[in-house]
Amino acid sequence: MRMLTLSAVAFCALTVSATVVTPTNTDEALINPGMGLVHYAYSSRIWAYDTGLEPGDTLDELVPGTSVAYMRLPWAYLEPEEGVYRWDILDAKARPWIEQGKKVAFRFAVMDHTMESIPDWAMKAGIKGKRSPYKFRKNAAEWFEPDWDDPVLLAKYEAFLKAFARRWDGNPDVAFVDVGSFGAYGEGHGPHLNALRCKQGNTNEVDRLCRIHLDLARRCLPNTYLVVSDDVGGSDNPDPNCAIMAYARSLGIGFRDDSIFCVNPPRCWVHADWARQFAKTLPVVVETGHHVRLDKAGGGDAKIEKWFPEKILQNLVEYQASYYTVQSFPKHLARTHAPILKELARRVGYRLELRKAVFPDRVRAGEPVTIESTWVNVGVAPLYAGASLAWNLLNDRGVVVWSIVDPVFNFRSLEPMLEDGEKPCTVTTKGHFGFTTPVPDNGNDDVLKWARRHPEFDPGTTAELLKPGVYTFAVSVGRADGKPEIALPLADGKKRMYPLGKIEVVR
């Protein structure tokens, strides 16, 4: 077997030998559920960041390991008339990614500095709020901040989100949906919200308003993984016991950071403590600030350098991120930071490495078998959804003829590799390859009597569900019923099953 080391050891079973395999794990980027690099197909702007890509490009070659197309858009684009929805705007980006077995993610904002995010028809219905120059700059265009508990706003946006939910809630092709209706871009800030925080010296009123929007999102999308921006708790809030973050966790809403590298160095990010609290049970999402603005050395227009590629991997570990986004045009990003992207893809989320497997050379059909294996999660996050370990026998045509699924071990328990290094786990799997039993024949089975008269169908006296022969022994990780779902960094895999050697089955 290519890239495998084999040796013989003593083995107490049918024979005196077994196979020991110590695979060489590859460094390829993997596409797996619940993790990966995220591409901004729409980044509030309808034109960014797909500009420069061919239609349907899912970045397999340009940025390997990109598993999610993320669409963050103003509400106004998607409901230009009340009850009339432009889902085709989402479908145009989503379809190619879904067809490639990848996922999509969404955010729909009600406030933006480049355009009116609230549809004109909804504004005419009487949504209250205030206008002010963007960042109070002289001669800057005004932007509109609604009253965040305005009943018209809440009713109209909820109707929109419920319409979206009829298409996408519980859809297995959705990785996550951001809570997008609170604050500018869904980030929990704005002139009025900022003033409230400064005036009160606490966040009680802001938290009250935020809870309304968290509850609304959870009510509309009960079967979807939701995440909320860290900024709703205060962009510079260092309190590890932030009340609104705790409330989000109580609703099963996860955490995302919008955005690292937006604060001046050496801080670069603020909320590693919050991220770690969420990461115990929920996948964390991280995005960087706009690369083309902040990376002065890479052609950005920042007044001071805020982009530090070497710190991205540090942030990945500190936040235990399952999803990671670099806001940029992929072609530009690949030209400037390809090595970092490769390492991000290798470490983001979970990555299950098989370090050793011990299995018998020969087995008697139906008799007990013991298989030992050692695993390491070299990613930074757990496999939150969990997965089962399966050992498979394949015939010469690559067909699975028998599987043993470990009934106890769950990869959810495999700890990620963080600052304290690898945490290997050795698993002992017991089971049987095949099932052999006498054919019941007490004279009452008319089907058996017919089969006895037709030699082609006569089962004989013993039923063998696994015929003697030499089979390929392969490992897979996936559902409890044995279906492979998780890609492993092993060579020669097909259909997410990876060959390790041969096993002879005898009578």
pLDDT in tens, 185-231: 999 999 999 999 887 666 899 999 999 999 999 999 999 999 999 99
Backbone phi and psi for residue 356, each to the nearest 5 degrees, phi listed first: -160, 140
Side-chain-side CA neighbours of 360 within 13 Å: the count stands at 23
Which pair of structure tokens corresponds to residue 212? 């309304």
Q: Is 276 helix (H, G, I), strand (E, B) or coil?
A: helix
Q: Return per-residue pLDDT of the chain as tens, 507 residues.
A: 334 443 333 334 444 479 999 999 999 999 999 999 999 999 999 999 999 999 999 999 999 999 999 999 999 999 999 999 999 999 999 999 999 999 999 999 999 999 999 999 999 999 999 999 988 888 889 999 999 999 999 999 999 999 999 999 999 999 999 999 999 999 999 999 999 988 766 689 999 999 999 999 999 999 999 999 999 999 989 899 999 999 999 999 999 999 899 888 888 999 999 999 999 999 999 999 998 888 877 777 777 788 888 899 999 999 999 999 999 999 999 998 999 999 999 999 999 999 999 999 999 999 999 999 999 999 999 999 999 999 999 999 999 999 999 999 999 999 999 999 999 999 999 999 999 999 999 999 999 999 999 999 999 999 999 999 999 999 999 999 999 999 999 999 999 999 999 999 999
CA distance 145 to 148: 8
Residue 315: in which H helix or E strand, if any? helix 309-319
Residue pair 367/89 in contact by the 8 Å Cβ criterion: no
Backbone phi and psi for residue 111, each to the nearest 5 degrees, phi listed first: -145, 130
CA distance 463 to 457: 12
Which pair of structure tokens corresponds to residue 471? 């089979």
Side-chain-side CA neighbours of 190 within 13 Å: the count stands at 29
| pLDDT for the residue 469 | 97
| pLDDT for the residue 5 | 41
Side-chain-side CA neighbours of 158 within 13 Å: the count stands at 15
What digits encode the pLDDT tens for the residues 319-363?
A: 999 999 999 999 999 998 999 999 999 999 999 999 999 999 999
CA distances from 255 to 130, 237, 274, 324 (A): 29, 15, 8, 12
Kindly report the CA angle at 48 between 113 and 314, in degrees rounded to 5? 90
Kindly report the CA angle at 392 between 390 and 396, in degrees rounded to 5? 160
CA distance 174 to 167: 11
| pLDDT for the residue 12 | 40
Residue pair 365/334 in contact by the 8 Å Cβ criterion: no
DSSP state of 90: H
Query: What residue spans of 398-466 are helical by DSSP H?
Result: 446-452
Residue 158: in which H helix or E strand, if any? helix 151-168
DSSP state of 149: T
CA distance 73 to 129: 21
Cβ within 8 Å of residue 145, ≥6 positions away: 111, 129, 130, 131, 132, 184, 190, 191, 192, 193
Which pair of structure tokens corresponds to residue 480? 């409890």
DSSP state of 184: G
CA distance 231 to 209: 14
Provide the β-strand partners of residue 140: none
What digits encode the pLDDT tens for the residues 387-418?
A: 999 999 999 999 999 999 999 999 999 999 99
227-239: b (≥16 Cβ within 10 Å) or e: bbbbbbbbbebee
CA distances from 101 to 96, 104, 172, 477 (A): 9, 10, 11, 17
C-alpha 148 chain-centroid distance? 31
